[in-house]
Amino acid sequence: MPQDAIPNDLPDDPTAPVLRTVPADALHRELGARMVAFAGYSMPLQYARGIVAEHTQTRNQASLFDVSHMGQAWLRGALAAEALERLVPGDIVGLREGRQRYTLLLNEAGGILDDLMVARRAHDALFVVVNASRKENDASVIAASLPDSVRLEVIEDRALLALQGPAAASVLARLAPDADKLPFMGVATVTIDGSACDVSRSGYTGEDGFEISVPGDAAERVAGVLLAQPEVAPAGLGARDSLRLEAGLCLYGQDIDELTTPVEAGLTWTIGKRRKMSWDFPGALAIRDQLDNGPHRTRVGIRPDGRAPARAGALIVASDGTGAGTVTSGLFSPTLSAPIAMGYVRRDLAADGTPLALMVRDKPLPARVAPLPFVPHRYRS
Q: Which domains does the chain have, with CATH numbers?
A: 3-66+157-246 (3.30.1360.120), 296-381 (2.40.30.110)
Closest CA to 155 of 67, 43, 68: 68
Do the Cβ atoms of 329 and 312 come closer than 8 Å?
yes
Do the Cβ atoms of 57 and 252 come closer than 8 Å?
no
CA-to-CA distance for 248 and 195, rounded, in angstroms?
34
pLDDT digits (tens, 9 = 90+) for 114-125: 999 999 999 999
Element (H, E) at 198: strand 195-200
Pairing outcome for strands 41-46 and 20-21: parallel
Measured in degrees and rounded to the nearest 5, phi and psi for residue 19 equal -85, 145
The radius of gyration of the chain from alpha carbons, rounded to an integer in Å, stands at 21
Closest CA to 163 of 148, 145, 149, 175: 175
CA-to-CA distance for 202 and 127, rounded, in angstroms?
14
CA-to-CA distance for 351 and 252, rounded, in angstroms?
24
Q: Find the length of the chain.
A: 381
Amino acid at position 33, single letter: A
pLDDT digits (tens, 9 = 90+) for 63-118: 999 999 999 999 999 999 999 999 999 999 999 999 999 999 999 999 999 999 99
Calculate mean pLDDT across residues 261-290: 98
pLDDT digits (tens, 9 = 90+) for 173-226: 999 998 999 999 999 999 999 999 999 999 999 999 999 999 999 999 999 999
Sorting pLDDT into bands at 50, 70 and 90, what band is 17?
confident
User: CA neighbours within 13 Å on the CB side: how many for 78?
Assistant: 1
User: Does 16 score more than 90 pLDDT?
Assistant: no
Q: Given this model, what pLDDT does residue 12 score? A: 55
Do the Cβ atoms of 283 and 106 come closer than 8 Å?
yes
DSSP letters, 72-120, are EEEEESTTHHHHHHTT-SS--TTPPTTEEEEEEEE-TTS-EEEEEEEEE
DSSP letters, 262-284, are TTTTT-GGGS-TTHHHH--STTH
